[in-house]
Amino acid sequence: METFFRLLARKTGRLFLTVFVISTVVFFILRVIPGDPAYVVAGVDAPSEAVEAIRARLGTGRPVLVQYGEWLSGILRFDFGSSLLSEEKVSTLILSRFPLTLLLALAGMGIAYMLALPLGILSAVKRWSFWDYAGMIFSQIGMAVPSFWLAILLLFVFSVWLRIFPLFGGDTPVHLVLPVLAMGINRAAVLVRMVRTSMSVELGREYIITAVSKGLPDKVIRYRHALRNALLPLITFSGIQFGYMLGGSIIIEQVFSLPGLGRLILSAIYQRDFPVIQGGVIFVTVVFCFVNFLVDVLYSYINPRIRVS
Amino acid sequence: MKTCSRKKHHKIRRFFFTLSCAYLLLLAVAALAAPLIAPYSPTRQFLDKRLLEPCSEGHLLGSDELGRDVLSRLIYGSRSLLAVGSISVSIALAAGLLLGIMAGLRGKLLGGCLMLLIDGILSFPTVLLVITVISLFGYGLAQMILTIGIVFTPVFARIVRAETKSLMTEGFVESSRALGTRRLKIVTRHIVPNMLPDLIIQATILFASAIIIEASLSFLGLGVQPPSPSWGLMLKDARSYIFQAPHLAFIPGIALAATVFSLNFIGDVVAEKLNPKL
């Protein structure tokens, strides 16, 4: 158990280091970009008072190191300043938009695993069978179809043609079915392959041969022995999958006009609302790093090989 | 039974492989000879012929909401697709080779630091990373190419470093070093040619990803800017006309999916040919 706590401490340290590096990179890139951000926001031929006002708001007039210190301490206090356009606090904006994005990402991941696990396991267990082909075709086509086009296709089939689900422009639960499906199916295509590989690797190991020669029933071998080991690498991967879901959500929210964090960041990019861009980008990366940290800890807790050694 | 279905499996694979190659060839020709093949200019608006269905007179694939010819836009759109794909992957390949060889040849400190950075970048999901970088650099065609190039660099760098390290311990490299060959020559003569196959496979797969990213960013309005033709932009406009003209969403989407499918499939087949173990 002691080693586990040491591992926990190390991972926590790494989490903080990553967040620190990311915030530093974001800070300095925005300073390195040619041109005064105040001019970019106000427009080149804006009156000098307007530019001066924005400069004061952004705080870009002061020494870089002072700005950097304030920037870091602001992040620790979850304070990213306020939007240049709406004057609202960036942290409030983010928190009001994030639940929807989180919901989309988690539900999408649920769908992805629900599709990929059975299909991937069946493909590995029954090689060259109908299911194996179905899995391979699904994953090849799924990887080729970009998520936003899949979303448009789903809209066409279910909203225009069958008229089961409403078209975009709302965020009631019914409006979320198609976005979640689009994200889930898109990711499932990649996951099917991973499940299949992971499962076939386990099925080819020596302990399986031992289990077979011991006369254990196929079901026990496959689902009690092989599957449990095959799932372990997939757990480490689920953290990164979550990140893909966050990224995918930015695109899907745009297709369905959903008011999530992705649309907040996108509209900030269009309007050059720097505080919102910075805050949004850092928030998303911190959430992603934190989820990966949780997954890492969970993994080392479940995996006896790491827990003991 | 098993061998029989395997044989059939190979036949199907070969068929799709040929199909994929043919499709990509067609695409490349369309992109290069766009002005000769395309019936109209991609930005010419026939305002009296808006939202025409496919197979209409004079407009084989119909026309969009501004009366622009879909076929012409599709043909010209393949240009930005292939340009973004090839330039960004070339940037990533060049930078990845340089960084990877440096990390592989140099001692622990530089190599270790580079790898820490590379692994850090690689642990981020591509879409998230691309949108982050774009949000910092600003948007547009050049920014998009640069962003994809930066984001893909670590993928190559990691492969190059691992291969450099293992190749440096090979007998033929050691004997060459013993004979006094200069380092640069060893790299260009022995190291790079020996890892070329792996790099080509990776480049094919990344090309496919680059194309998806190009389309996605253009769809979001962060990539190719209108009125330039791009498949992602065509899909963006099509979203609003899904009731009146669904073909506007189908045609570029099918072309896009077929391109990505072909590249992925060719990458897979070549990888399997080169490493029969997999």
Partners of residue A246 in chain B, C-beta under 8 Å = 125, 128
Structural domain including A233 reads 100-259
User: Is the separation of the CB atoms in A253 and A260 below 8 Å?
Assistant: yes
pLDDT-based confidence at residue B276 (cuts at 50, 70, 90): low
Judged by CB atoms closer than 8 Å, whether chains meet at B216 and A146 is answered as yes
Residue whose entry in the numeric block shows the structure tokens 């000879």: B33
Residue A308: its pLDDT value, please?
55
Q: Where are the alpha helices (DSSP H) in chain B?
A: 2-32, 34-37, 70-105, 108-122, 126-137, 141-168, 171-178, 183-186, 192-220, 231-239, 247-274
Q: Which residues partner with B59 through β-bridges? A: B56
**Would you kindly state where each structural domain of chain B is located, as residue ranges?**
80-274
What pLDDT does residue A33 have? Answer: 62
ipTM: 0.86
All residues at 6 or more sequence positions from A175 whose CB lies less than 8 Å from its CB, including other chains: A165, A166, A168, A169, A256, A258
Q: What is the pLDDT of residue B208?
A: 93
Q: Tell me the percentage of chain A whose pLDDT exceeds 70.
A: 90
Q: Note whether B60 and B182 are within 8 A (CB).
A: no
Amino acid B116 reads L
pLDDT for res A34: 55
Least confident residue range of A5-14, A42-51, B140-149: A42-51
pLDDT in tens, A88-140: 888 999 999 999 999 999 999 999 999 999 999 999 888 878 888 888 889 99
Q: What pLDDT band is residue A51 in, cutting at 50, 70 and 90? A: confident
Q: Is residue A247 part of a domain?
A: yes
State the CB neighbour count (10 A cutoff) for residue A5. Answer: 9
Residues of A in contact with B2 (CB under 8 A): 128
For residue A238, the surrounding DSSP H or E stretch is helix A227-256
Q: What is the pLDDT of residues B128-170, one digit of tens each?
A: 788 878 877 778 888 899 999 999 999 999 899 888 888 888 8
Residue B168 buriedness (CB in 10 A; 0-12 / 13-18 / 19+): middle
Is A141 an 8 Å CB contact of chain B?
yes
pLDDT for position B1 = 42
Question: Which band of pLDDT confidence, cut at 50, 70 and 90, is reported for residue B20?
Answer: very high
The residue to which tokens 């992925």 are assigned: B264
pLDDT band at A37 (very low <50, low <70, confident <90, very high): low
**Chain A within 8 Å of B132 (Cβ-Cβ)?**
yes
pLDDT, mean of residues A242-264: 90
pLDDT of residue A282: 87
Per-residue burial over B242-271, b = 16 or more CB atoms within 10 Å of its CB, e = otherwise? beebbbbbbbbbebbbbbbbbbbbbbbbbb
Taking phi first (over 0 means left), then psi (-120 to 50 degrees means alpha), and beta for anything else, what does residue B51 get?
left
B164 Cβ contact list (under 8 Å, min separation 6): B100, B101, B103, B104, B105, B191, B195
pLDDT in tens, B186-229: 888 888 888 888 899 899 999 999 999 999 999 998 888 888 88
Q: What is the CATH number of the domain that holds A255?
A: 1.10.3720.10
pLDDT above 70 for B233: yes
Mean pLDDT within B13-28: 93
Asked whether the beta carbons of residue A265 and residue B246 sit closer than 8 angstroms, the reply is no
Q: What is the pLDDT of residue A281?
A: 86
* Predicted local confidence at residue B277, as pLDDT: 54
- Asked whether residue A145 is assigned to any structural domain, the reply reads yes
Question: Does residue A35 carry a pLDDT above 60?
Answer: no
* Rounded Cα gap, residues A34 and A42, in angstroms: 15
Query: If you average pLDDT over every residue of chain B, what do you get?
Result: 85
Q: Domain B80-274, what architecture?
A: Orthogonal Bundle (1.10)
Maximum mean pLDDT: which of A36-40, A59-63, B1-5: A59-63
CB A38 within 8 A of CB A55: yes
Question: Chain B partners of A268 at a C-beta cutoff of 8 Å?
Answer: 135
pLDDT in tens, A195-249: 998 998 888 888 888 888 888 888 888 888 888 888 888 888 888 888 889 888 9
Of B135, B219, B264, the CB nearest to A265: B135
Q: Which residue of A has its CA nearest to B129?
A: A247
Torsion sign across C-alpha atoms A139, A144, A148, A153: negative
**Chain A residues within an 8 Å CB radius of B260:** 143-146
Mean pLDDT of A28-47: 67
Measure the CA–CA gap between B40 and B18, rounded to whole angstroms.
Answer: 31
Which one has a higher pLDDT value, A175 or A60?
A: A175
For residue A170, being part of any structural domain is answered with yes
CB atoms within 10 A of CB A39: 15
Distance from C-alpha of B122 to C-alpha of B129, rounded to nearest angstrom: 9
Contact assessment for residue B206 and residue B213, using Cβ atoms and an 8 Å cutoff = no
Task: Tally Cβ neighbours within 10 Å of residue B221.
Answer: 17
Mean pLDDT value across chain A: 84
Whether B125 contacts A291, CB under 8 Å: no
> Please, which residues have CB within 8 angstroms of residue B72's CB and are 6 or more apart in sequence?
B38, B39, B40, B41, B42, B44, B229
CB interface of A with B, residues 150-209, below 8 Å: 152-153, 155-156, 160, 167
pLDDT tens-digit readout, B34-68: 888 878 788 777 777 777 777 777 777 777 777 78
Identify which of A27-36, A284-293, A295-304, B116-125 has the greatest average pLDDT.
A284-293
Q: Taking a C-beta distance cutoff of 8 angstroms, is the pair B255, B31 a contact?
A: no
